[in-house]
Amino acid sequence: MQSAISLSLSSPSTIARSDCTAAAAANSYICTPRSLRFCGLRREAFKSKSFNSLSVSTRLLPCSRNSSFKKVCAALQSNGAPSKGEFDYDLVIIGAGVGGHGAALHAVEKGLKTAIIEGDVVGGTCVNRGCVPSKALLAVSGRMRELQNEHHMRSFGLQVAAAGYDKQGVADHANNLASKIRSNLTNSMKALGVDILTGTGTILGPQKLKFGKGGSGDTIITAKDIIIATGSVPLVPKGIEVDGKSVITSDHALKLEFVPEWIAIVGSGYIGLEFSDVYTALGSEVTFIEALDQLMPGFDPEIGKLAQRVLINPRKIDHHTGVFASKITPAKDGNPVIIELIDAKTKEPKGTVEVNAALIATGRAPFTQGLGLENINVQTQRGFVPVDERMRVIDSTGKLVPHLYCIGDANGKMMLAHAASAQGISVVEQVSGKDHVLNHLSIPAACFTHPEISMVGLTEPQAREKAEKEGFEVSITKTSFKANTKALAENEGEGIAKLIYRADTGEILGVHIFGLHAADLIHEASNAIAMGTRIQELKFAVHAHPTLSEVLDELFKSAKVVSSSHVAQPVAV
């Protein structure tokens, strides 16, 4: 369970549209914010209380309304010079995934001379082998499910012929989306002047590293601060032989080279659930193999039970729980994939399963080999780089390594792409002179099944454990999608939203949603936790009608809060 971490926040501001104009009297440009948006991945408000104008250095060029790069208010003419000329760069980031990208763009905003090292392709796991292509496949599975559901279509008065799909066309959709987002990320960094250095990054010592293909041809550079953002790779347990054809990881599955008649999915977490949604929509039968005693062990138990009733029981899915796949042999010479099962507790044999293919969805392992951590006396823990709450790297003696940080999957705090980006932004705030600690309990997570599952904060068991230790009562309230007009208009009334909170203070401990567009709805709760907003304040928020957002509106209004404190005074306008 994640421990609660305080979050330093500035007063929110509103960004207005405007232009950049040259200052006549000073050797600088004045830029009134139009909007600052990078690749659609994140958006940040200027933090000053008043921003009628923003003074920036002479490295900025005046904006043009006709500029092809309209999403950025000012483009860098150069990447600047590092502080006092002591280093080649102010900041060097090893790894150009979503975390590294977010850190790089924020560093440029802060005026830091920045470089990013990438040994593979820009975008990392998320863009190339994870979040992005998987969502393309899930978009297909969602539409297939709708078209195949004759009762659902007839309820709208629609008649649809038998739905089919072109496997290569589906695969191309996923690949094209990944290529487009990868290009967007690359172009955004280039446009802002981030130096993209190709090769493997290795730390040689304090504030010193090299990059290249290895050997004498590598280039040595120095940086005032270094961020490790190398991400992760699929975790394959011992005894499992992956051939990339009949026994595959998510990396292979996203290519959709074939759709097996029967596939076993080892692991029923986010990755396994999403691929079960894809494969069953495309006609496969699925068998889950789960080491724990219940499916979907990482979800709130109540949400997990409902999700199982909707996402698993009605579909061509069976499951084995409480067992390990001790050995998996790929299909050979016309023989099927053979999976040998053992009891997770006693390790006694539990039989075998024969299928056409097996997908290993047992999680992710940090990619931290070859970083040169031994040169700075850092020892990984199960492959993860040890860090403190500010992402500062800790050496083998327990001391902080100066000017070295690690974000994202490589540190294991929260293995989500947007968490990596948030950690990177937090680190840049620190190296820019402003202390910042990220509240990981405010970071949402989502599973993009049909319907979707989303969550933020604590599960009910976690909240009750915390309450027992700290001496407060946990309250629960729930609302149903069946009472929401927009959900009923879509004939998608299956789902609930669950609020876990403290009735004595109005503090939100956790929110869990299962239903239509749950992944989009969770952010109101996420932002409330991040900003410390209490339920008694949220009760006065206004939501457009009829929208799915009213599910959260009703959820907060149904909470019974004893205290009326912390309510902001209304302002008449």
Is 29 annotated as contributing to ligand binding?
Answer: no
User: Do 502 and 474 meet the contact criterion of CB atoms below 8 Å apart?
Assistant: yes
User: Do 392 and 227 meet the contact criterion of CB atoms below 8 Å apart?
Assistant: no
User: What CA–CA distance (Å, rounded) separates 567 from 556?
Assistant: 14
User: Do 196 and 118 meet the contact criterion of CB atoms below 8 Å apart?
Assistant: yes
Give the chain's radius of gyration (CA, Å). Answer: 25
Is 289 annotated as contributing to ligand binding?
Answer: no
Is 232 annotated as contributing to ligand binding?
Answer: yes
Is 363 annotated as contributing to ligand binding?
Answer: yes
Is 230 annotated as contributing to ligand binding?
Answer: yes
User: What CA–CA distance (Å, rounded) separates 368 from 406?
Assistant: 10
Is 142 annotated as contributing to ligand binding?
Answer: no
Is 271 annotated as contributing to ligand binding?
Answer: yes
> Helix 98-109 crosses helix 167-191 at what angle (to 10 degrees)?
20
User: What CA–CA distance (Å, rounded) separates 356 from 358?
Assistant: 7
Q: Catalogue the active-site residues.
A: 545
Is 272 annotated as contributing to ligand binding?
Answer: yes
Parallel, antiparallel or unpaired: strands 349-355 and 247-249: unpaired
Is 417 annotated as contributing to ligand binding?
Answer: yes
Is 296 annotated as contributing to ligand binding?
Answer: no
Q: Amino acid identity, residue 447? A: C
Whole-number Cα distances in Å, 99 to 41, 108, 185, 343, 427: 11, 15, 11, 38, 11
Token digits for 309?
Answer: 């009733």
**340: β partners:** 327, 352
Is 189 annotated as contributing to ligand binding?
Answer: no
Is 267 annotated as contributing to ligand binding?
Answer: yes
Helix (H, G, I), strand (E, B) or coil at 132: helix
Element (H, E) at 488: helix 485-489
Q: Amino acid identity, residue 429? A: E
Is 274 annotated as contributing to ligand binding?
Answer: yes
Is 470 annotated as contributing to ligand binding?
Answer: no
Q: Amino acid identity, residue 354? A: E
Can you say which residues are annotated as belonging to the binding site for FAD? 135, 201, 230-232, 409, 415-418
Can you say which residues are annotated as belonging to the binding site? 135, 201, 230-232, 267-274, 290, 363, 409, 415-418
Can you say which residues are annotated as belonging to the binding site for NAD(+)? 267-274, 290, 363
